[in-house]
Structures are given as C-alpha cells and as structure tokens.
C-alpha cells in the first residue's frame, strides 16, 4: 500500500494556508464595517486513549458586526473506524479500518439577513484508497438571483479549468445532497459538492489536489465580494425573523443528514469544532 504521509502533510499545509487567508479577509471586512472583531483560535488534540489514534486541529471563531458567527476549522486525524462505520467509508472495511483525514471546514452565519450564509469544506482522506472531496454552497435567507448566479459562475469557471464535466456533475451532486427530505426543500441555492476523487498514483493526486486548491481560491474570490455587496443593506424585523426561521432548516440538515457531522462524531473529533456550523440564534415557528 502506498505511503500517503507526505501527501497528507502537503494537503494539511495548504488547508492551513487557506484558513489564514480566509480569516484575514473576513477580519478585513469587519474593519471596513467599523468593527475590531477578530478570530480566536483554539488548538485541540484528539481525545483518545488509543496510541494508534491521534491528531487534532485548530478551531477559529469570530463574532463580529458583519459575521454574527463564523467558524473555520482545520483538523488532521488518524486512527481506525469502528466496525459498524468502516463499511460506509470509501476503501475502508472491518479488515482494514485504518484512516487518515485532513481538511478545512468553514461555516459563516451573517448578521444582516440580506447577506447569504455559506459553507465550504475541502479534505483529503486515505484508507486503502486515497481521495479528495469537498465543495461550497450558498445559503441565503433572502435569495438574490444575481448573487446565486455569481456564486455558481465562479465555481463553474473553477471546474471548467479542470474538466468540462465537473460543474454539471458537482452542481447536481450539491443540489441532491444539500436537501432536507422531511421538509422537501433545499438547504440553500446550491454550489458544488464532490467526493471520492481518487488518487491511484502521484499524477492523479497532483491533478485532484490542484482542483481542490482552485475550489478554495474560488471561494475566497467570490464570497467576500458577495458580503461586501450586501452587508450595508437595510433590513426589517420581518427580514430578521425570516433569517432566524431559515436557520432552523440549516440546523435540521446538519444534525440529521450531514455526513461531515457524522464523520466527526464517529471518529472522536472535537465536539465544539464539529458543531461550530450551528448558528448563534435560531427560531422555529
């Protein structure tokens, strides 16, 4: 079996660099709004007594004038999947339950209901196989067609630079994945979602890593632009109520259906980092 240690370290370095750039950009937006809010970083180690398992990460959280709550987490963990969970993971099994995983996960909930919330995640995992996954999706309480088109256009361009089939495949995947069956509604207005971009050799790893980096660059390019466009827009009490009720749908998806939440909880991840995606305030009608 190929040793992916160096590749995991290289991916981790990129995820940490991307985190730092995103956090700096978000803090800059807060300064433009007259706020001195900044990210607080908490480093955590994986809570396990098994010496074959380990790792940890850094959770960054900021609560400001524009970003009511934004969390950016980078984690790198390794160990073995529990028997009942191993068979659900690409390349893992009861006989071969070992894994490593490194990735960045971001969720931003905004103070102004006209500014869309957003989720972005990219990751590299190894079992008996190695692959990249991730994506980004826009979650506006009050949708604007121009914002939706701009968000999709930027990721369409990122996909087109690598494979002409990627955008159609991955935007459809996002549409199907970010859906709340018990409500029969989409979680937001979509984006892209991909998984199991497998790396049978170094050449494939380079291609898929390049694409994953471009997904991060696309996010860093488009989302701050959307925030700046909407963050000064006036809103009403009715707009705020709509936002808080919409956040309830977001919570329902993340706690009931989201695979990333389940993965974190089933692999001994940091609870606060896993649940950082939940909004600070929410209502159900």
Domain ranges of the chain: 5-277
Reply yes or no on whether the pLDDT at 1 is more than 80. no
* Spatial separation of the C-alpha atoms in residues 67 and 26, rounded to whole Å: 8
Reply yes or no on whether the pLDDT at 48 is more than 80. no
Q: What is the mean pLDDT of residues 124-130?
A: 93
Nearest C-alpha neighbor of 21 from the set 51, 76, 60, 68:
60
Give the pair of three-digit tokens for residue 261.
Answer: 């939440």
In the set 7, 109, 114, 119, the catalytic residue is 119
Strand partners, 45: 56
Mean pLDDT of the chain: 93
Q: Which of 30-39, 72-81, 190-199 is the least confident region?
A: 72-81
Query: 78 near 5, Cβ under 8 Å?
Result: no
What confidence tens digit (pLDDT) does each residue in 84-102 have? Answer: 787 788 777 877 888 999 9
Pick the CATH number of 5-277 from 3.90.930.12, 3.40.50.1820, 3.40.1500.10, 3.40.50.10090: 3.40.1500.10
Reply yes or no on whether the pLDDT at 122 is more than 60. yes
Q: What pLDDT score was predicted for residue 171? A: 98
Rounded to 10°, the helix 202-230/145-160 angle is: 160
DSSP string of 232-270, one letter each residue: T----HHHHHHHHHHHHHHHHHHHHT-HHHHHHHHTT--
* Spatial separation of the C-alpha atoms in residues 209 and 189, rounded to whole Å: 26
Q: What is the mean pLDDT of residues 261-270?
A: 79
Reply yes or no on whether the pLDDT at 51 is more than 50. no
What confidence tens digit (pLDDT) does each residue in 199-240 have? Answer: 999 999 999 999 999 999 999 999 999 999 999 999 999 999
DSSP β-ladder status, 130-139 and 190-198: antiparallel
Helix or strand holding residue 15 (H, E): helix 5-32
Beta strand segments in 26-170, E = 40-45, 54-62, 67-80, 98-110, 117-126, 130-139
Looking at per-residue confidence, does 215 or 274 come out higher? 215
Nearest C-alpha neighbor of 258 from the set 241, 246, 243, 276:
276
* Spatial separation of the C-alpha atoms in residues 146 and 26, rounded to whole Å: 22
Q: What is the mean pLDDT of residues 158-177?
A: 98
Q: Is 162 a catalytic residue?
A: no
The reported pTM is 0.93
Query: 122 near 104, Cβ under 8 Å?
Result: yes
**Which span out of 79-93, 161-175, 253-267 was modeled with the highest average pLDDT?**
161-175
* Spatial separation of the C-alpha atoms in residues 121 and 191, rounded to whole Å: 12
CA-CA distances (angstroms) from residue 122 to 27, 29, 53, 197, 250?
22, 23, 22, 12, 19
């Amino acid at each position: 079996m190929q040793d992916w240690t160096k590749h995991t370290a290289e991916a981790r370095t990129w995820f940490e660099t991307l985190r730092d750039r995103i956090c700096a950009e978000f803090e800059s937006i807060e300064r433009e709004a007259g706020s001195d809010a900044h990210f607080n970083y908490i480093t955590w180690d994986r809570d396990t007594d098994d010496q074959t398992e380990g790792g940890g990460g850094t959770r960054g959280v900021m609560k400001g004038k524009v970003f009511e709550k934004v969390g950016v987490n980078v984690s790198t963990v390794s160990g073995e999947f529990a028997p009942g969970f191993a068979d659900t993971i690409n390349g893992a099994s009861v006989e071969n339950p070992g894994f490593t995983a490194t990735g960045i996960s971001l969720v931003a909930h905004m103070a102004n209901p006209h500014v869309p919330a957003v989720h972005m995640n990219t990751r590299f995992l190894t079992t008996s196989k190695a692959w990249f996954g991730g994506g980004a999706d826009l979650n506006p309480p009050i949708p604007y067609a121009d914002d939706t088109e701009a968000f999709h256009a930027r990721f369409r361009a990122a996909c087109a630079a690598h494979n002409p089939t990627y955008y159609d495949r991955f935007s459809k995947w996002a549409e199907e994945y970010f859906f709340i069956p018990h409500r029969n509604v989409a979680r937001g207005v979509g984006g892209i979602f991909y998984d199991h971009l497998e790396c049978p050799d170094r050449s494939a790893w380079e291609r898929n890593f390049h694409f994953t980096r471009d997904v991060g660059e696309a996010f860093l390019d488009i989302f701050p632009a959307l925030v700046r466009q909407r963050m000064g827009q006036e809103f009403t009490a009715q707009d705020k109520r709509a936002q808080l009720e919409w956040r309830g749908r977001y919570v329902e998806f993340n706690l009931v259906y989201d695979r990333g939440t389940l993965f974190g909880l089933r692999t001994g991840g940091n609870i606060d980092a896993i649940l950082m995606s939940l909004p600070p305030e929410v209502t159900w009608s």
